Structure 1
Amino acid sequence: MRRRVVGIETEYGLTCATRSGAPPIHDADAAARLLFAPLALSGRAPNVYLRNGGRLYLDVGAHPEYATAECDSFEDLLAQHRCGDELLNQLNDRTRAELEGLADPERIYLFRNNVDSAGNSFGCHENYLLHRRRDFRQVAQGLVAFFVTRLVLVGAGHLRRSGNKLSYCFSQRAEQMWEAVSSATTRTRPIINTRDEPLADAGQYRRLHVISGDTNVCEATTFLKVGMTSLVLDAVEDGMNLSDLELADPMLAIRQVNQDLSAQVKIPMAHGGELSALDIQERILQRVVDVLGIDINDSSCDASTRQVIDLWRRALAALRSGDWSSVDRELDFAIKFRLIQEYLKRKQTTLDDPRVARLLLSYHDIGPNGLRSGLESSGLMRRLTTEEQVQQACIQAPRSTRAHLRSSIINAAETAGIELAIDWVRASRIDDPGRYVLMNDPFATESESVDQFISGLRARDEFLPA
């Protein structure tokens, strides 16, 4: 697997509830403002770049959002992704005293999910750095079938309501998509966003912005999602052609795939004939292996590639057999399905029991009452990070990407008491906007211009009173 810069943006669900069950004083908007109040009190807007190179902000619709720093290893990415939960839980801890002091105590709950009870959707966006090429839109169109059918492997699982009937499906996000490829994000919600915003040297790079994926709870599912996509992009860059897998109607297909737990219902193809989600994924996997010359039994095969291919194959085999037990500790949809089946059997109840809805919400709860920590500690959900790695990721940027430079600037500015205007590629001083530095290379970990900019910040620090 070749080196590629990847990042994940996660929008969190948020609600506020009282201890008594009565309507809370704080609606979602007020609760979100309260959650981010510590940042405002410290003189920082609710949109900050952090010492770990990531970004924490309040998005439209009262959704807290965390964007990881640029990562070029799965170890860094998973730790950075998980530390978003940790950072928001730290903010939430600071609200407890104020909310507990109310006549009817309240609590803010945060969720890694993609849809609320009113049907509103919020996303998990994946970003993959690509080398710029003229046929980008054609490449994006060819990837649509991969992303439509990928949800049978990495969907978070969802109880779908149709009239009075509830049924289990693969994805929370799938049926919120309305276009295959588009430059818009909120108006049409495309599977692939083609807005040309590389956040890097535009002459060399382009960013693949995928907004159709679910927010995963299990780290192994996130690993597969990003790993299989990275391998597909490697193969496309080496000439893999997916044009024969173009779907006749991607928006109809994504809904059909989502509702078919066998993953074997046939989908009309643009060039005639029909294939199932399983057929498409199996063909793509085989092409990836062939184009990249992957042999997971060869000692030269890197560990990440070996693990991705192994889980990808096992997941497809589990779907083909209809027995998900071999992956029901690694893939969200299977873990959640197992929990539901066990609960229904134990309680002798049905899917429309409100306790089932509470169980599923608890699956996505990132707070101390959520199910994830218990599932992980009991071996019922595979974890790939350690607590130490996550804590480190909250304060330290990956050392092998541009995030290291941004982090160094932020640390120096905070030490010197200098305010910055900063984003993914640029940093400038608020008190002297003409003094700025650009960071256009996402792979750069050293920069003479960054060193000079930091020296200017430290020069100010030398004259501060002791």
Structure 2
Amino acid sequence: MRERVFSLETEYAIAFQTQGGNQPPNKELIVKALCQQLEERCGIPGSQFLVNGSKFYYDVGHAEWSLPECRSAYEAVVYDKAADQTLSSIIADAERVLINQGFQGQLLVIKNNVDASGNTYGCHENYLAQRQTQWLGWEDYLWLTKRYLIPFLVTRQVFCGAGRVGFGQKLEEGIGFQLMQRADFIEEVVSSETRKQRAILSLAREHEPLAKGNYRRLHLILADTNMLGWATYLKLGTTGIMLRMLEDMGFREIPHLLDPIQTLRQISRDPSCSVQVPLQDGRQLTAIEIQRIYLEQAKGYFGQHPISADEQQIMQIWEDVLNQLATDPMQLFGKLDWVTKKSLMDRYLQNVGMQWGEVLPGEEVYYKLLQLDIFYHNLCSENNLFYRLLKDKPDTLVTAEEVLIAQSSPPPYTRAWVRGTAIAASRKMGLNVEIDRWDDLKVNNRKVVLPDPLKFFSPELYAILSNSAALPTVTEHSRYNIVIFSSDNNIGQNLANKLVGLGYKQARLQDKPNLEFNIKWNNASNSMIDEIVNIMCQELELDDVQICRRYGEGRNDCIHINLGGLVAPSLPILQRDRYSITIMSPNLDMGESLADELGSINYRTHIVLPEPTSEFSIKWGSATEAVIDEIVSILSKKFALRNTQIKRLQKFNLEDNRIFISLYSPRNGFLQKFLNFGKRIVIV
């Protein structure tokens, strides 16, 4: 299963340090003050959901932030960073609210997993996963999941542990440094509990439907909360690859641990990453060696299956990190949390002339180490040790612009987009929006059902917003340069003059357009892009389905417009009959119509009738880009699609002359209504 949802639920520790022995506010009151600030900035009254699709609420003594549904590990990292920055930005205001209520002190929000009293709280991972496969029923597939995932989950702490001072739940087993904060609190191999008998493989949400059909919510609770995006990316990304291999039965034999719980703690207490752990077959391997076995099997799997750009990047980082861990873990300062934290503490011990084995409970150095452990995770700006530590070597996986956008805009390709759009409409247009659940909402008392987390369009919401007030006007045109690629200078110059007349800083012309109408941008608002697209449609007599939108491909404060579709050059396509096209269509009429059109220009076609898919897509091997462009163009015209609605999947075997086309057809028969929907209503 290539299409997956990734998400995190992070429990933040909260405290209010009082002055002069004053009574602090209770935890629920603290979270209420934080919620009040979030509602004012990015929420709506009466709901825990926010404009970027996230959810923030009080949960048993902690503040919990649930990320929106994300389509990749990278996207989840961006939204995790956005959550941290949003919380950090409201702490001072929430503190003032509490002070105005009569409390004197300082508000602390800590993103870690263990407090000074030995209580633990989690960072829970959520993955959209299959409930069973076409070969195995639920129970057999669950057994296979346990068999193949547990050694991986136990040993991945070498790159996703957050680091902790002390051994034992209450530090009763001595002082030292370990890789993982939660290791001493995991007590079972498999369990359905989350607050007691915590397990390596949790089945706590196994019977809680995340989506319809064969989908389920895999809910993992053993991992640490990460401050560094690189560690979060590896944690989610490698686990997503493991799930994909599991669903495709892509594993060969892997090493099975003799005692997974003991091994979890044994690995955690060895920062050298060199301890050998016992296996069921009598061998002993290190955690790095076990991870390498999984890595090599993943390489073999992707030698036979398509791999996305995100998965390629994860595979490369995974291999690089394992190589560096094997030679010198300290090379990974600024990428792995436990390495970065240990480096800080090692320097402190060096400054005071001590080593780890010389630290005794009750000494000043002991308490200083515990304080550094806590303050590494502190989100408060005044005591944000993590950001001060990395000021010369920032967490560079994601960009500041991506994080800024994610604070106010939901992921575009999951149901979070619908949820966030509804909240934005409520804030900007005064619509009555009620959201209490992840899978539905109400707008002006009309219910919008969202059973599928991968669906990012709602005809019901579109109809409501289309009949509502006009979108807000766009401002700050003068920030943006416009670059127009056009082979016809007159047409390009007319469009440039129109845009400059609206106040855009500059509009210059370039030659060499590509084969499509498109617009590319990075940090411009969606309403600004809507405005430009509307002008293009008016000036060039286009329908907006003909204009492909490519977010994230332009430079900051620069918007690229491509008018290549005006040229319609002759495509250099030869020997079409060498390509065999398989059309996967749940609707026979759709499939035959496309097959006839492609056959008329000498492609060899045949049709299969699978279950409906959730997208239009094309996958190919040796075909040239010109061939794919031609087929995409035919699909676009035939089914009234934008190019962005046709997903181009990664090439597979480059010697293969086959082309696979998947057509989308909703069961309810409203295909044309869905496809003729020109653009998503976006309110920012």
Asked if 1:416 is matched to 2:425, the reply is: no
- Paired position in structure 2 for 1:54: 54
Q: Contact between 1:24 and 1:106, CA under 8 Å: does it hold in 2? A: no
1:313 aligned onto 2:331: no
* Structure 2 counterpart of 1:231, from 241, 245, 260: 241
Q: Find out whether 1:140 has 2:139 as its counterpart.
A: no
Higher mean C-alpha deviation, range 100-109 or range 84-93: 100-109
1:382 aligns with 2:395: yes
The yes-or-no answer on 1:222 pairing with 2:232 is yes
**Unaligned stretches of 5+ in structure 1?**
460-466
Aligned AA (2:350): K
Q: 1:444 to 1:301 in 2, by over 3 A?
A: closer
Contact 2:125–2:221 (Cα < 8 Å) also in 1: yes
Is this contact kept in 2: 1:413–1:419, CA < 8 A? yes
Gaps of 5+ in 2: 471-684
Residue identity in the other structure for 1:449: E
**Percentage of pairs with the same residue:** 30
**Which whole-Å deviations, capped at 9, do the CAs of 1:282-304 have from their partners, x for residues lacking one?**
11111111111299xxxx97553
Q: Which residue of 2 aligns with 1:463?
A: none
Q: 1:88 deviation in Å?
A: 2.1
CA distance in 2 between partners of 1:294 and 1:328 (Å): 35
Relative to 1, partners in 2 of residues 1:408 and 1:100: Cα closer, same or farther, differing over 3 Å?
Answer: closer
Partner residue in 1 for 2:370: 357
1:444 and 2:450 are equivalent in the alignment: no
Map Cα deviations across residues 86-111 of structure 1 (whole Å, 9 max, x no partner).
23234322223345569884111111
Q: What amino acid sits opposite 1:65 in the alignment?
A: E
CA-atom RMSD in angstroms = 3.0
- 2:123 aligned partner: 124
Contact in 1 for aligned 2:69/2:453 (Cα 8 Å) = yes
Give the direction of change, closer, same or farther, for the CA distance of 1:126–1:106 in structure 2 (3 Å limit).
same
Q: Return the alpha-carbon distance in structure 2 between the equivalents of residues 48 and 101 of structure 1.
A: 24
Paired residue for 2:441? 427
Aligned to 1:72: 71
State the partner residue of 2:14: 14
Which region of structure 1 is more displaced relative to structure 2, 331-340 or 404-413? 404-413
Residue 119 of structure 2 aligns to a residue whose secondary structure is coil
Match of 1:169 among 151, 172, 178: 178
Query: Any idea what the Cα deviations from partners look like across 1:249-295, whole Å, max 9, x if unmatched?
Result: 22222112211223333333345544332221111111111111299
The verdict on how the C-alpha distance between 1:156 and 1:137 changes in structure 2, with shifts beyond 3 A counting, is: same
Quote the offset at 1:185 in angstroms: 1.7
Report the CA distance shift for 1:274/1:324 in structure 2 as closer, same or farther (over 3 A). Answer: closer
1:39 is displaced (CA, Å) by 6.3
Q: Equivalent residue for 2:672?
A: none
Tell me, what secondary structure is at the counterpart of 2:272? Answer: coil
- Quickly say closer, same or farther: Cα 1:457–1:122, change in 2 above 3 A: farther
Shift of 1:456: 7.6
Q: Give the distance between the partners of 1:242 and 1:436, measured in 2 at CA.
A: 47
Alpha-carbon distance, 1:318 to partner: 3.0
Aligned to 2:347: 342
Question: How do residues 126-275 of structure 1 correspond to structure 2 at under 5 angstroms?
Answer: 126-133=125-132, 134=137, 135-141=140-146, 142-161=148-167, 162-163=171-172, 165-194=174-203, 195-197=205-207, 199-241=209-251, 244-275=254-285
Shift of 1:166: 0.5
Decide whether aligned partners of structure 1 residues 239 and 272 sit closer, same or farther in structure 2, where only a CA change above 3 A counts.
same
**Helix, strand or coil: the match of 2:330?**
coil
Deviation sequence 1:354-411 (CA, Å, 0-9, x none): 22222222210112121222233311x5332233322221110011222111112223
SS of residue paired to 1:326: helix
Displacement of 1:332 = 0.7
Query: Would the aligned equivalents of 1:218 and 1:383 in 2 still touch at CA under 8 Å?
Result: no
On the 8 A contact 1:192/1:208 being kept in 2, the answer is no
**Aligned partners of 2:217 and 2:334: how far apart in 1?**
32
Q: Provide the TM-score with structure 1 as the length reference.
A: 0.86
Whole-Å Cα distance in 2 between the matches of residues 32 and 200 of structure 1? 27
Stretch of structure 1 that moved more, 141-150 or 163-172: 163-172
Which residue of 300, 303, 316 maps to 1:293? 303
Equivalent pair of 2:14/2:109 in contact (CA under 8 Å): yes
Q: Say if 2:49 and 2:435, in contact at 8 Å, map to a contact too.
A: no
Q: Which has the higher contact order (CA 8 A, sep 6+)?
A: 1
Query: Map of 1:29-44 to 2, 5 A cutoff?
Result: 29-38=28-37, 44=45
* Distance in 2, Cα, partners of 1:183 & 1:284: 26
Q: Which moved more, 1:439-448 or 1:327-336?
A: 439-448
| Structure 1 residues 44 and 347, CA gap change in structure 2 (3 angstroms) | farther
SS for the counterpart of 1:12 is strand
Q: SS of the counterpart of 1:422?
A: coil
Q: 1:5 to 1:163 in 2, by over 3 A?
A: closer
Residue 442 of structure 2 contacts residue 448 of structure 2 at CA under 8 Å; is this kept in 1? yes
Q: Look up the SS of the partner of 2:376 in the other structure.
A: helix
Bigger CA drift: 172-181 or 28-37? 28-37
Q: 1:304 aligns with which of 310, 318, 334?
A: 310
Change (3 A) 1:376 1:263: closer
Normalised by the size of structure 2, how large is the TM-score?
Answer: 0.60
Q: 1:105 to 1:421 in 2, by over 3 A?
A: closer
Residues 1:388 and 1:444: Cα distance change in structure 2 (over 3 Å): same
- Pair 1:94 & 2:101 matched: no
Provide the C-alpha distance between the structure 1 equivalents of 2:406 and 2:184, rounded to a whole number of angstroms. 33
AA aligned opposite 2:84? D
| Whole-angstrom CA distance in 2 between matches of 1:104 and 1:208 | 41
Query: Any idea what the Cα deviations from partners look like across 1:4-49, whole Å, max 9, x if unmatched?
Result: 22111111011111356x465335444334333446899845x611
Shift of 1:419: 4.2
CA deviation string 1:418-440 (max 9, x = no partner): 141432111136x85xx422212
Q: Deviations over 1:148-197 (max 9, x none)?
A: 11112210011124547311000001221122222222232222222225
Match of 2:106 in 1: 107
Task: Write the letter of the residue equivalent to 1:95.
Answer: A
Instruction: Report how many residues are paired.
Output: 447
Match in the other structure for 1:332: 337
Q: CA deviation at 1:313?
A: 2.1
The 1:33–1:341 alpha-carbon spacing in structure 2 relative to 1, beyond 3 Å, is same
CA distance in 2, matches of 1:377, 1:327: 16
The residue identity in structure 1 corresponding to 2:335 is E
CA distance in 2, matches of 1:3, 1:262: 37
